[in-house]
Amino acid sequence: MKMKKFFSLLMLGLALIVLAACGQKSAEDIIKTELKDSYTGYSELSGYDSLIFTGGGQELEFDKKNHKLKSGDEEVYYEVVAEDKLPKSMKGIMASHESEFKYKHYFIINVGYHKDDIWGKVGDQLYGVVLTEGGKSINIFEFETGYTNDGYFNFTGEAK
């Protein structure tokens, strides 16, 4: 009887460990373990603010230590935005992108030319960053907020 209890507890412990390991990682964990330093890819359209998110082929470089994102000579700051810090207006937009996030590692960023403009402030132009294949593939897309009618940035790339 004691052996049966022991094995039951052992199996329960293993199941909890496996579930914890397979669960959604935090944005910080994803950035540390999966986000690569550089991705080469393409977006058919530019972002609303353009910043560094331009249409066509490009290379995006992540400076994780300084929270900077670079493409060519252009450079912006990025801040990871926790989902619970998103404005109510963004909750519906997040829900419309559920299929792009489901079962994938992702985080949301706010970008700007000046760190003080974005740090701790959630702007209207946010981008979803989805990593697959352990970070080998990336998709960065602009949340469709309705501010532009010329289309939305949707970058798909591969790690260099």
Tens-level pLDDT at each residue, the chain (160 residues)? 566 665 555 554 555 454 444 556 788 888 888 999 999 888 876 665 555 666 567 788 999 999 998 888 888 888 998 888 877 777 777 777 777 777 789 998 888 888 887 777 776 678 889 999 999 999 988 876 555 555 567 888 999 8
**For residues 69 and 77, what is the distance between their CA atoms, to the nearest angstrom?**
6
Give the pLDDT of residue 20. Answer: 47
| Residue 20, Cβ density class (10 Å: 0-12 exposed, 13-18 middle, ≥19 buried) | exposed
Say what the pTM is.
0.74
Identify each DSSP E strand in 6-124 by its residue range: 38-43, 56-63, 68-71, 74-81, 105-112
The pLDDT score that the predictor gives to residue 129 is 92
**How high is the pLDDT of residue 54?**
62
Tokens of 110: 């706010």
- C-alpha torsion 87→38→150→125, nearest 10: 20
Neighbour-count burial of 54, counting CB atoms closer than 10 A to its CB (0-12 exposed, 13-18 middle, 19+ buried): middle
pLDDT at res. 156: 87
